[in-house]
Structure 1
Amino acid sequence: MDSIFSPPLHRQRHQFVIDFVKRNKPKKVVDLGCSECSLLQKLKFHREIELLVGVDIDGANIKKKMHGLAPMSTDYLQPSYDQLRIELYQGSVTQEDARLRGFDLVTSIELIEHLTLADVKRFSEVVFGYMTPVAVIVSTPNSEFNPLFPRPAGFRHSDHKFEWTRAEFKSWALKVCLEYGYEVEFTGVGQAPPGQQERVGFCSQIGVFHWLGGRQECNMLFGDDAEDVFSYTLLYSINYPSLHDNNILQRVLVSEVLYWAEKMKRNWIEERTGERDDTYTLCPAEGEGEECLRASERHMEMEDKQTVYLTAACGAEMKNPGEHQESELFWTNGEGQQESCKLRRCVSVPLAVLWSCCPKLSALSGSLSNLRHVLMDNPEVKLSQDGSAVLLNDQEQDLEEEEEDHDDLEDSGYAVCSHGAEPEEDWEKNV
């Protein structure tokens, strides 16, 4: 049947729901009779929805496709402030479940015709009387359209218990509105051939119900002392990553800081050596901060029996880096002999530069002090002593010295020295 429509009829029904979501922006949506979750697969991309629920009596159908609703890798790599939780339940639409009360939108797409007339009455009581959503979309086959199909007389599906005419559907819908305080508008999808639309109507007829009560009144309804009923079985639930989660926000901030600091460091190396690394491309906003790398600090630590001077030679300016000699660390061993080893240089990238030149960082952190606070206790980021700059090793020097110094340091019996590192406490045993 879908083949005679373009787009296919099931897609037109789903698009009708999507268009409604775009216009009305409901936050809580449940699809009754979700089957293999095909409508939910489309709705999950509309991030105005914060809670998306599917219900079907056939749990096996749900399990076939439910993992397709999981977040994609990009949702974790680039989380947004949008919040989305997805829940899938096995249960009957004729049963009450308190977890489905007070939704903004309930959809029932080609479901009601699979119920007996007794169950249709119960469906009305549960959906409109108990769940009391702000809006309900119900679609069902229009039997007046059936003679246009090139097939024998009968229902469109072997499991259909009935197929209503437009008048029968209207009668049921108006009765629901009168009993439960809704109003309804009638429409549909699947246009008839030219000249026959008025005579036979749409292939799938749709009723869009709007509750006449306000949201505040709805909340008062659910504040009663009635005992909550939980008749559905939860089969699947997932929370999408969101920047409202403090752990995720911190992870993204740290990742952005390390990424942009490394790019700024690479730019400084390129300016110093004249060699271009095409794997790092500076954006215009970042270029504004090229000249902002400042000289690193000197660190001093005092130990019993030994004095350690730690000096890091860093780029004073990005555009005109000064010439810095290799620094040395000196200590005195127990026999009065003075020894030394070379220190690694580092590049100091001020947080103020990162925060001002990277709009995403400033938007996520809100203020420079907030950014510093997040980074202070994070083991992935090394800050200067006053917390004003990110310190990165000058990897170029590391690579140059690795082969040159490795054998000598290995044979010397002394600990390998690095920026901020202390000699081992039992170093004298190796002398």
Structure 2
Amino acid sequence: MEPFFKPPLHKQRHQFVVDFIKKYKTKKVMDLGCGECLLLKRLKFHKEIEHLVGVDIDGAKVKKKMHSLGPLSTDYLQPGFEQLCVELFQGSVTEPDARLRGFDLAVSVELIEHLLLPDVELFSEVLFGDMAPVHVIITTPNSEFNPLLPGLSGFRHPDHKFEWTRVQFQSWAQVVCEDFGYRVEFTGVGLDPGGRHDEFGFCSQIAVFHRLRGGFNVWPGETIQGETSYTLLHRINYPSLKDNNVLRRVLLSEVLFWAEELKRRWTERESEDTEESKEEDWNEHTGACGEERPPEEEWKSVAADDESDLWRLNGIAQSRNCASQRGCVPVPLDLLWASSPRVAALCKSPANLRLFLMNEPTVKLSQDGCALLLRTDEDEEREADLDRGGAAVEPNQRVSAKLPENWED
């Protein structure tokens, strides 16, 4: 039946929901009758959403697909400031559960027609009376369109208990609005390729409800007062930089990466420069150790515009006795902050970067706290020799050893 439409009808319904979320910036969204979680899998990529919930009476069906809603590897490697909590429940939409109160949007895609008519009344009370979301999207088949669908006789699905005409659907929606304080708009997806829209309407008719009065405001983890009839099948919190542990891990990784990169560049430049040129730069800019430091804006402009000047300033920083230590390369925090846009975004200022590193036991700062100390390549090589059972050798120490007389045993 669906190849009758391009794109397929189910994708048009899901796209309608996505467009609504983008327009209204809804943060808390629940999918009633989520089934195999197809809509949820699509919604998890939208940054507007902070809490995503799926409910279905068939728990086995949900369990088969629930792990597809987990974070991707990139979500762990490059987390953002966005937060996302995904929860999946087994339960009936005819029974209330206080944990589903206070949502911005409830979606019911092709669900209502699977309920017995007495259960439709219970569904209305639970959804609009107890849960009371700000917005509700309900889609259901339009029976007036059925004669246009090739090969169809009877209902569109063997489990359908009814299929409403446009008048029947709109009459039910108007009663809901009067009983629970909503207003409604009607639309749909799936147009007749023959252009007879006025006669047959949409293949799937859609009612969009907007609440007229205030409601609940409940967030994940808060204490809920009221009945909880659903079974929680799965819950996962996506990594977020709003989590201090995640923020520290990401920031430390970025700092160490850029510090090593700056050390490598500086080491290459140092081999090309003479001690006299370094001393000239030092005298020109400061005249004495620690007297003057380039302001943050200068570090920024230098890092962005002139790499040779950047390394000249780094040479000045290395000349400070307060920032030097045998066996270490000092990487100025100002330079580190200005060189890495991500570090700058996470820390906001070099002062914040310094405060973060002062409380980080895995790194070492200079005595004045102005530079991150990294071990020299020679020092790392000596330690590697010791780990392999060899002896540490100073860089200038001459070693002589008697070579074997015969290399071809």
Question: Scaled by the length of structure 2, what TM-score is found?
Answer: 0.81
Contact kept in structure 2, 1:96 and 1:231, CA below 8 Å: yes
Contact kept in structure 1, 2:13 and 2:189, CA below 8 Å: yes
Bigger RCO of structures 1 and 2 (CA < 8 A, at least 6 apart): 2
* Match among 361, 365, 370 for residue 343 of structure 2: 361
The 5 A counterparts of 1:9-408 are 9-213=9-213, 217-219=214-216, 228-273=226-271, 284=304, 287=307, 289-293=310-314, 294-295=317-318, 312=326, 345-395=327-377, 398-399=380-381
Corresponding residue of 1:304: none
Inter-CA distance 407–44: structure 2 relative to 1 (3 Å threshold): closer
Inter-CA distance 103–355: structure 2 relative to 1 (3 Å threshold): same
Unaligned runs of 5+ in 2: 273-302, 396-409
Q: How many residues align?
A: 357
- Superposed CA deviations along residues 232-276 of structure 1, whole A, max 9, x for unmatched, are 0000111111111111111111111111111111111222446xx
More helix, by proportion = 2
Take 2:238 and 2:101, find their aligned partners in 1: how far apart are those partners? Answer: 22
Q: Once the 2 structures are TM-superposed, how far is the Cα of residue 81 of structure 1 from its aligned partner?
A: 0.8
Corresponding residue of 1:342: none
Inter-CA distance 377–227: structure 2 relative to 1 (3 Å threshold): closer
Take 2:394 and 2:178, find their aligned partners in 1: how far apart are those partners? Answer: 83
Corresponding residue of 1:278: none
More strand, by proportion = 1
- Superposed CA deviations along residues 304-353 of structure 1, whole A, max 9, x for unmatched, are xxxxxx951xxxxxxxxxxxxxxxxxxxxxxxxxxxxxxxx321101111
Letter in 1 for 2:258: W
Letter in 2 for 1:210: H
Q: Secondary structure at the match of 2:318?
A: coil
Where has structure 1 moved over 6 Å in runs of 4 or more? 296-299, 400-404
Higher mean C-alpha deviation, range 86-95 or range 250-259: 250-259
Corresponding residue of 1:330: none
Letter in 2 for 1:291: R
Take 2:344 and 2:106, find their aligned partners in 1: how far apart are those partners? Answer: 39
Inter-CA distance 311–130: structure 2 relative to 1 (3 Å threshold): closer
Inter-CA distance 292–203: structure 2 relative to 1 (3 Å threshold): same
Q: Once the 2 structures are TM-superposed, how far is the Cα of residue 387 of structure 1 from its aligned partner?
A: 1.9
Contact kept in structure 2, 1:286 and 1:358, CA below 8 Å: no
Letter in 2 for 1:197: H
Take 2:380 and 2:234, find their aligned partners in 1: how far apart are those partners? Answer: 50
Corresponding residue of 1:306: none
**Percent of residue pairs bearing the same amino acid type:** 58
Q: Once the 2 structures are TM-superposed, how far is the Cα of residue 119 of structure 1 from its aligned partner?
A: 0.5
- Superposed CA deviations along residues 103-129 of structure 1, whole A, max 9, x for unmatched, are 100000000000000000000000011
Q: Secondary structure at the match of 2:391?
A: helix
Take 2:77 and 2:210, find their aligned partners in 1: how far apart are those partners? Answer: 39
Letter in 2 for 1:123: F
Inter-CA distance 98–400: structure 2 relative to 1 (3 Å threshold): closer
Inter-CA distance 249–400: structure 2 relative to 1 (3 Å threshold): closer
Letter in 2 for 1:13: R
Take 1:269 and 1:400, find their aligned partners in 2: how far apart are those partners? Answer: 18
Take 1:353 and 1:105, find their aligned partners in 2: how far apart are those partners? Answer: 46
Contact kept in structure 2, 1:264 and 1:286, CA below 8 Å: no
Inter-CA distance 365–15: structure 2 relative to 1 (3 Å threshold): same
Q: Once the 2 structures are TM-superposed, how far is the Cα of residue 289 of structure 1 from its aligned partner?
A: 3.3
Inter-CA distance 152–259: structure 2 relative to 1 (3 Å threshold): closer
Take 2:117 and 2:325, find their aligned partners in 1: how far apart are those partners? Answer: 85
